[in-house]
Amino acid sequence: MTNIDRYNYAFDPDGDAWAARILRRIPPQGSVLELGPGPGAMTRVLHDRGYAVTVVESDPQALSALQALGTQCIAGDLDGSDWMAALAGRQFDVILACDVLEHLRRPEDVLRALNAVLAPTGSLIISVPNIAYAGVVAGLRLGLFDYADKGQLDRTHVHFFTQRSLERSLLDCGWAPRVWEANRVPLEQSEFALCWKDLGDAQRAGLRDGWHDFDVYQWMVVATASSNVVAWEGAAARAQVDQLREELQALTLRHESELASLREHQKAFSEAKVIIKDLEHQIETMQRSSADSLAELKQLNQLKAFLADRSWSARWRRFRGQM
């Protein structure tokens, strides 16, 4: 399996896949710097959505695939410094470092360097595997820590992070974490399913109960430069105001639509009342006419029976009996 095959994947950009959730953290427009995108699973979506994308990638096969997309590519090893020289004087609205830091020997150097290429109101979006995932711990309980081609224990991982250790690295390197999001993966659906199954019930309960984040497979954090806190908060406030304004407009349009519908229903109800009243009058008239007809029919039947008797005495008795 080549590097490009190991890190290539497809996902629904509008679905609930982890990559789709990461992309939803990016503002609707702007410039994006993507670190270590591999063959470009997310890069393709960014291009399709109209973002100006620049990538830093070291794998030759991945670079070839990215160049075919029309992406501006910088060939460079993130553990080196040449890539930063290539970005000198440029700034980006968003920097993506998704499942990248764990592959670096000196991730703190990269985090410090990124401060220089982020716009004042921009954001850094990071995703890392969570080494505190209960599946990893389950393996350790069984004495297992086996590297693989991909996953939590990818053999190319040289750094391991928990939420707390990543937060500390960010703070030490001049970043302020703003938003955290967890990718929760059931243990039974992970590469540690057998380890989890081999634990006793009490051991599983000990790892699960009272530990809210036991199933967090990856952490995502949106961070801003500590030096740009005021500018970022101002931009965030303006964005929130714009969102509230759009929501108010949507509610107003919905209210006007519902009000118009209500008026139509009221008009139809009034017309129905008139029709119902007219029908009731017709039914009442028909009932009176029917009653009169029944009375007349009864009299005719009586007369017919009277005339049917052959003797006048029988007719007289019948007549007397009806009096």
| 157-167 residue pLDDT tens | 999 999 999 99
| % of residues, the chain, pLDDT over 70 | 83
The rounded mean pLDDT for the chain is 87
**Residue 30, Cβ neighbours under 10 Å: how many?**
16
- Options 3.40.50.150, 3.40.50.880, 3.40.50.300, 3.40.50.2300; which CATH number does 3-244 get? 3.40.50.150
pTM for the model stands at: 0.71
Contact residues for 137 (Cβ-Cβ < 8 A; gap 6+): 207
The 10s digit of each residue's pLDDT in 146-200 is: 999 999 999 999 999 999 999 999 999 999 999 999 999 999 999 999 999 999 9
Report the pLDDT averaged over residues 115-141: 96
- CA distances from residue 149 to 1, 153, 171, 191, 224 in whole angstroms, order as listed: 8, 8, 31, 11, 33
In angstroms, rounded to a whole number, what is the distance separating the alpha carbons of residues 230 and 120?
Answer: 9
Question: Is the separation of the CB atoms in 126 and 223 below 8 Å?
Answer: yes
Yes or no: say if 110 and 78 are a contact pair by the CB < 8 Å rule.
yes
The one-letter amino acid code at 151 reads G
- Of the candidates 37, 13, 31, 32, the residue with the CA atom closest to the CA atom of residue 23: 13
234-265 tens-digit pLDDT: 555 555 656 677 777 777 778 777 878 888 88
Q: What is the pLDDT of residue 115?
A: 95
pLDDT of the residue at 54: 96
Instruction: Give the pLDDT confidence score for residue 245 in this predicted structure.
Output: 72
